[in-house]
Amino acid sequence: MDRVDFLRRTVTVDRQLVTPTKGAPRFGPPKRAASNRVVPLPAVVADALAFHLQKYGEGPDGLTFTNGRGLPIRRNSFSPIFRRAADEVGIAQGDGFHELRHHYASLLISSGCSVTVVQRRLGHATAQETLDTYSHLWPDDDERTIDAVDMAWNAALVESTLNEDLVEPLK
């Protein structure tokens, strides 16, 4: 849990659990340098983590989640664990870890976050990687361009109406 800062509400991502087919799981570096990041921790997630830690305690090597024997959860075991947990709380399942990443990305995009913010949160090396994966989720900007012009010109028209003596009538 040394990578969760409850006071600042952040999580530091600077390692991953490598689970070889043979041998014990171990920590290794993330896939690429851009994967090292500090991610803001929403209050609802911080509260859930705090509750989980209070109920189950911390696992070995600072792990928050472990299997039934207190060992690291292997990659191939995560999906069934995730599905059981999702069923318990009545949420859509998906295929596990990547489903969580895609869900997070879609939440950020639908709330108006920029490509750069989504890129940093997901640890993508480039904004192009983010766009290649998620561009279809960004809303169409037609309405936003219309609204931008309407807002600018409507404000100008209101101002000119207030100052009619400064505006020459149209002929």
pLDDT in tens, 76-109: 787 887 788 778 877 766 666 777 888 889 999 9
Nearest to 27 by CA among 17, 19, 36, 37: 17
- Residue at 118 is within a domain: no
- Residue at 106 is within a domain: no
- Residue at 47 is within a domain: yes
- Residue at 36 is within a domain: yes
pLDDT one-digit tens code per residue, 29-85 = 998 888 999 999 999 999 999 999 999 888 888 888 888 888 888 877 878 877 887
The pTM (predicted TM-score) of the whole model is 0.68
Expressed as residue numbers, the domain containing 50 is: 1-68
Number of structural domains in the chain: 1
Amino acid identity of residue 149, one-letter, is V
More confident residue, 149 or 167: 149
DSSP 7: T
- Residue at 49 is within a domain: yes
- Residue at 74 is within a domain: no
Q: What CA–CA distances, in Å, run from 171 to 4, 160, 163, 164, 167?
A: 68, 17, 18, 15, 12
- Residue at 90 is within a domain: no
- Residue at 85 is within a domain: no
Q: What angle do CA 125, 126, 129 make, to 5 degrees?
A: 100
- Enumerate residues 6+ apart whose C-beta is below 8 A from 101: 122
